[in-house]
Copies of this chain bind each other. A is one copy, B any other.
Amino acid sequence: MKIAITGAAGFIGQKLIKHFLDNPVIATPTGAQAITELRLFDVIAPPVPAPGNAAIAIDTRVGDITDLDALGQLIDGGVDAIIHLAAVVSSAAEADLDLGLRVNLEGTRAVLEACRTLPSPPLLLFASSVAVYGGDLPAVVRDDTALTPQSSYGAQKVMGEQLINDFSRRGIIDGRVLRLPTIAVRPGKPNAAASSFASSIIREPLQGDTAILPVPEDLSVYLLSPRGVVRNLVHALGISAEHFGGSRSLMLPGVTVTMAQMLAALERAGGPESRARVKTEPDPRIEAIVGSWPAVFETTKADSLGFTADRDMDAIVAAFVEDDRLINE
């Protein structure tokens, strides 16, 4: 089985590649298959996580996600599945409308155009986002809740979902769309996601650094660990199309927590000295974006298809400590 991954240099891409290298046999709608080749695409050269796997050929490519020629070479007749992670994240898409439209809308369109040349519909997995929700929402968001995003990132993700669904309905691809909760705790450095702080306020204190909380302590978010994202992405590849019903999209299960509950979990894991490293500095721009995303969901469809959340906030912190914490020497 040959899998192409866009956005392969991103942190979800990197964790997913690592997972495939360590676990090369995956469930697909046509049964278990061994991965024989990974094609990794990004605007910068995607690193290959050590130690690799001698049985899996790795082909790394650098290119622009709207470059039809490059995508045509990435997605040729030998590719069985495409995992489309490439995106401009929320704050960056809000700051630069053109960039967001180009990568998030035109880039997704370009990936789908490349799929039209294939002899049979490939599996296509698209990472959407909790940011598709917003505006006048019910207390609990359900699978049938209308999408009225309040950010350009969210609007662009809705458009990508529509493309995936329509191209699936037409039989060009066998698509599936996972709406990701806010991902925490991300490894590495803060990024341009408006929700970056949700990782920083756990990661930095546990690594001995300070962090800024830009939103009120009673603000709730809906979280999934990086480990949970990888688990659910891989799970999505194994579900037969007919189980998705009238839409290939679903919201992934997450954990609903307030900032106060996150800080309490931080203190349980790292002690009062860790908690003391988080300073509050309100940022209305961040609060406007993240505060527009709902935090309470009933994920009936995802639950029935076997997608799963982390156990609780403590499990999310523990996953970070086990998988990603860097200890400053």
Interface residues, chain A, with chain B CB atoms under 8 Å away: 97, 101, 109, 134-136, 138, 143-150, 152, 155-156, 158-159, 162-163, 165-166, 169-170, 245-247
Flag if B148 contacts A146 (CB, 8 Å).
no
Q: How far is the CB of A304 from chain B (nearest CB, A)?
A: 13
Flag if A170 contacts B138 (CB, 8 Å).
no
Q: Which 5 A-B pairs have the closest CB atoms?
A: A135-B246, A155-B166, A136-B246, A148-B247, A155-B162
Flag if B97 contacts A148 (CB, 8 Å).
no
> Contacts A136-B245, A146-B143, A146-B146 given: A162-B158 contact, CB under 8 Å?
yes
Flag if B149 contacts A146 (CB, 8 Å).
no
Identify which of B136, B146, B245 contacts A145 (C-beta below 8 A).
B146
Copies in the complex: 2
Flag if A145 contacts B144 (CB, 8 Å).
yes
**A163 to chain B: which residues have CB within 8 Å?**
155, 159
Q: How far is the CB of A245 from chain B (nearest CB, A)?
A: 6
In angstroms, Cα B292 to Cα A169, docked, is 13
Q: How far is the CB of A8 from chain B (nearest CB, A)?
A: 27
Instruction: Show 8 residue pairs from A and B whose CB-CB distance is below 8 angstroms, ordered by the A residue.
Output: A97-B170, A136-B245, A143-B146, A144-B145, A148-B165, A148-B247, A152-B166, A159-B159
Q: How far is the CB of A139 from chain B (nearest CB, A)?
A: 12
For residue A153, which residue of chain B has the nearest CB? B166
In angstroms, Cα B138 to Cα A270, docked, is 48
